[in-house]
Amino acid sequence: MDLEQMIVSMCQTAKKAARVLANTPPQAKSQALLQAASRLRQSGEILLAANLQDVTTGQKHGLPAAMLDRLTLTEARIEAMAKGLEIIAELPDPVGETISQWRRPNGLEIAQIRIPLGVVGIIYEARPNVTADAAGLCLKAGNAAILKGGSEAFRTNSAITDILAAAAVAVGLPEATIQLVRSTDRQAVALLLRQDRFVDVIIPRGGEELIRAVTERSAVPVIQHFSGICHTFVDSDADLQKAAQICINAKVQRPWVCNAMENLLVHEAVAAQFLPAFVTDLEKVGVEVRGCERTRQFVPQVKAATEADWRTEYLDLILAVKVVSSLNDAIEFVNTNGSGLADAIVSENYSNVRRFLNEVDSATVYANASTRFTDGYEFGFGAEVGISTNRLHARGPMGVRELTTYKYVIYGSGQIRQ
């Protein structure tokens, strides 16, 4: 069987499995997830042996240390995967919810019912834990999952997938509930992206380059997560103590994630009071500050920011700072330079807060809180599928509910159209 036949056949099988899963009761899905968790725990030796092969090959090929670290399984990481599946098992089942229901004058009753998306393709890099996590989330929402992980983790991902698929089979679900593309041929992804007859959505998880490559080549709809260039605007009426705490948190707590602050905007009325002490605080914790000309009037020690800085996702302890003359300028700046993911205003002024929240066109907009809360767990979704920068279908943090769609069920008693 050549590669194309293999991919097409996987996708067809997944479609069939999806039909079964769509009508599988919540209990059976939870059972499969709990089974998978317990089987992962019992299979430590097999998993670690497979992983050792991947890690050894990775070392031979000179993979960077950070990548080797992400690739490496440990007892603790296996336990974390198992625990993750148990948490997903406990989540409320999103399928079957009546989203809305109404009766027409002719007596037809129309119900809008939440159902699974169908077949979900997940394309990711070298973290083996994504295999269990993504498969678990797809299964919870009643979807069949086709996983394509990074080649570096091929043996580890194969071993994890074998265990998950066996758990599904053990509770009577189709084996194709969870499938892994078992090829390291680069063509495999390209072929998968063309199966729009069978695959309903593709979710790439990883760096911007991966996401862009997938989006450009995909005939299947893609839920993207592009860069996070997040702003905090310290308004003229800000509580400056709150502002400092929120900004430090947004920049420093986990600088390498998408919801960390990259650009700080400060209203000119408070710049003199706010910036010197705050920049000193930033420098104390190792943040490199790059400022606009006006910023450097207040903190002359900082580097000059270039135009490119305003549109750079540093993912690092670097912050670009700009003094703005008005709320209008701040809103305009965010809408022009931001990535529409997470932006905050710090202000005690009611009207200014309201305008910022309404007029900043981002998936999540904050008043007086850190942008770091843009996250499925922090939103209370219990799990996170990803954070979408799409405008269609799902926007912002995605939970299992965002892996569903709906159908209309119409109950009649012989109605015909006049």
Residues that bind a second copy (CB under 8 A): 19, 22-23, 102, 104, 108, 110, 117-118, 200-201, 216, 219, 221, 223, 239, 242, 245-246, 248-250, 253, 335, 357-359, 361-370, 372-373, 378-380, 390-393, 395-397, 405-417
Nearer to a second copy, 63 or 120 (CB): 120
Nearer to a second copy, 183 or 335 (CB): 335
Phi and psi at residue 381, to the nearest 5°:
-80, -10
335 SS3 class = helix
Minimum CB separation from a second copy for residue 337, in Å? 13
Nearer to a second copy, 43 or 249 (CB): 249
Nearer to a second copy, 155 or 395 (CB): 395
* Identity of the residue numbered 168: A
Q: Report the side by side order of strands in the sheet with 261-267.
A: 303-304, 288-291, 318-324, 261-267, 230-234, 342-346
Exposure string over 368-395, b if 16+ CB within 10 A, otherwise e: bebbbbbbbeebebebbbbbbbbeeebb
| Three-point CA angle 362, 367, 373, nearest 5° | 70
End-to-end CA distance of the chain: 54
* Identity of the residue numbered 194: R
Nearer to a second copy, 156 or 224 (CB): 224
d(CA 337, CA 310) in angstroms, rounded, equals 6
Nearer to a second copy, 245 or 326 (CB): 245
Q: Report the side by side order of strands in the sheet with 178-180.
A: 178-180, 144-148, 119-124, 201-205
Minimum CB separation from a second copy for residue 206, in Å? 20
d(CA 130, CA 362) in angstroms, rounded, equals 27
316 SS3 class = coil
Minimum CB separation from a second copy for residue 400, in Å? 15
Minimum CB separation from a second copy for residue 359, in Å? 6
Nearer to a second copy, 62 or 380 (CB): 380
Beta pairing, strands 98-103 & 109-116: antiparallel
Residue in 377, 385, 379 with CA at minimum distance from that of residue 401? 385
Minimum CB separation from a second copy for residue 321, in Å? 19
Minimum CB separation from a second copy for residue 288, in Å? 21
d(CA 41, CA 48) in angstroms, rounded, equals 11
Minimum CB separation from a second copy for residue 159, in Å? 32
Nearer to a second copy, 37 or 138 (CB): 138
Minimum CB separation from a second copy for residue 223, in Å? 8
Nearer to a second copy, 170 or 410 (CB): 410
| Three-point CA angle 67, 379, 127, nearest 5° | 15
Minimum CB separation from a second copy for residue 268, in Å? 23
Helix ranges restricted to H, 261-303: 268-284, 293-298
Nearer to a second copy, 31 or 339 (CB): 339
Minimum CB separation from a second copy for residue 193, in Å? 13
CB 399 within 8 A of CB 140: no
d(CA 331, CA 351) in angstroms, rounded, equals 14
